[in-house]
Structure 1
Amino acid sequence: MKHKNIIILSLLFTTAICSQNMSQNAGSSLFSDYKASRVGDAITIIVVESSQASNNAETKTGRSSNLSLSGGFDVNNKTSSSGNATLSTGNDFSGSGSTKTVGVVKTKISATIDSVLSNGNLVIKGSRKISINGEEQMIYIKGIVRPSDIAADNSVLSYNISEAEIVFEGSGIIDNAQKPGWLTKLFHWLF
């Protein structure tokens, strides 16, 4: 009996020392899904952004004025001649303008956890460079993600990122063709 107690105590002691820490070994556990939560962990950002803005303005003004004079004179109770003078002025203005902007962006980009804030939220940063036939497109993303917004496949929708900065930049022949030339820039600067 004494030997059984020693064996049971040694098993309990070994189990207590070698117990599994679920937060450190979640990737190898059979009972939990691994979610990105530590610095350096990868996370997939699904960028689904759409924006729409419109502004309309219309102005109409008008002013008109008329001045009329008429008169005559008599000589020996006879009306001899009369004169009329008329002066008219007018001013009309009509102006209108409208702007409309629509933007839709859909892409996926991988990012890494840069730091973990004291409240558990994750600061993420990521970039991707795509080059096709001399055209380069850079995509940058950064922001703060709540751990509860991370799906089981370690993806986050972009509208769940607070303080999100999503930047698309391009360079190449098409980008250069969309910019005004130096002569056009000079004329705009002068006039």
Structure 2
Amino acid sequence: MKRIASALVLASLVAGCGVTDRLANVGRAPKLTPMDNPSAPLIEPSLGNQAAAHRSGKPVETAAPSASLFRTGAGAFLRDQRASRIGDIVTIRINISDRAVVGNSTTRSRTGSESAGIASLFGLESQLDKVLPGNPDPANLVDTSSDSQSAGAGNTSRSEQINMTVAALVTDVLPNGNLLIRGRQEVRVNFELRELIVSGVVRPEDIARDNSIRHSQIAEARISYGGRGQLTDAQQARWGQQIYDALFPF
């Protein structure tokens, strides 16, 4: 009981913190998450920087002109413009249309009967009426039968469909050339905030010509689509009901 009481007190305190936050945000729209600083090289390599570094023996940290044709990726006509470095942007096309139906049925039946008796046992069968009530018959002492039946059926149906497009940043390049990507998109309409988060590992070879990639080509993909706001709060059970459901098994 002490453990249950302690758990209730702790859950109340934790829930109380959430209540305080919700009361402070009454009448206010949910806040957008601050944008993280994108990872990108501070200085783009160029022919001029490489020549100066070769003469001095150390790298020269000077910003390259944004319109220089000698800066890698700035105005290259022959360079592949698909994402390949830290800070590059790649478009992710999410087209999830999954449907699964699982059904099973089980039927079990069993019938058994047993019959046993002692017609004669060294004359001891004549003494059974003194031990067992009801004038027993030695030839039919035990007669049992059993019958059991069991039937079960189950059906699971699931359907999901998400069609979205999100831009992601290349956050790191692995030693084998694969790219770590992460994209975050938030859309707030009135008092409801919708959030889409995508992360995973992609191969540069899988990126299409239009610098896009399908979600099915992302390894270790983590796709989260949800929201927060007044509509989400209305669809969730109250914190007291959630605590009750977690603690009481009946």
What is the TM-score of this pair, normalised by structure 1? Answer: 0.67
Q: 1:92 aligns with which of 149, 154, 160?
A: 149
2:99 is equivalent to residue 52 of structure 1 = yes
Residue in structure 1 matched with residue 14 of structure 2 by the alignment: none
On the 8 A contact 1:27/1:34 being kept in 2, the answer is no
Residue in structure 2 matched with residue 9 of structure 1 by the alignment: none
Deviations 1:73-115 (Å, cap 9, x if unpaired)? xxxxxxxxxxxxxx98654332211111121211011110101
Amino acid at match of 1:186: Y
Q: 1:42 aligns with which of 85, 89, 113?
A: 89
Residue in structure 1 matched with residue 186 of structure 2 by the alignment: 129
Q: 2:165 aligns with which of 103, 108, 111?
A: 108
Deviations 1:97-140 (Å, cap 9, x if unpaired)? 11111212110111101011112111111111111221212111
Q: CA deviation at 1:187?
A: 5.2
2:215 is equivalent to residue 158 of structure 1 = yes
Question: Equivalent residue of 1:46, what SS?
Answer: strand
Task: Give unmatched runs, 5+ long, in structure 2.
Answer: 1-50, 52-68, 115-143
Q: Tell me the C-alpha RMSD between the 2 structures.
A: 2.9
Q: 1:29 aligns with which of 57, 76, 83?
A: 76
Q: CA deviation at 1:174?
A: 3.0
Amino acid at match of 2:192: E
Residue in structure 1 matched with residue 139 of structure 2 by the alignment: none
Question: Equivalent residue of 1:59, what SS?
Answer: strand
Q: CA deviation at 1:155?
A: 1.1
Q: CA deviation at 1:168?
A: 1.2
Identity of aligned residues (%): 30
* Residues 128 and 184 of structure 1: CA distance in aligned 2, closer, same or farther (over 3 Å): closer
Question: Equivalent residue of 1:180, what SS?
Answer: coil
What is the TM-score of this pair, normalised by structure 2? Answer: 0.53
Q: Compare the two structures and name the one with the higher strand fraction.
A: 1
Task: Tell me how far apart the structure 2 counterparts of residues 35 and 46 of structure 1 sit (CA, whole Å).
Answer: 15
Aligned length: 154
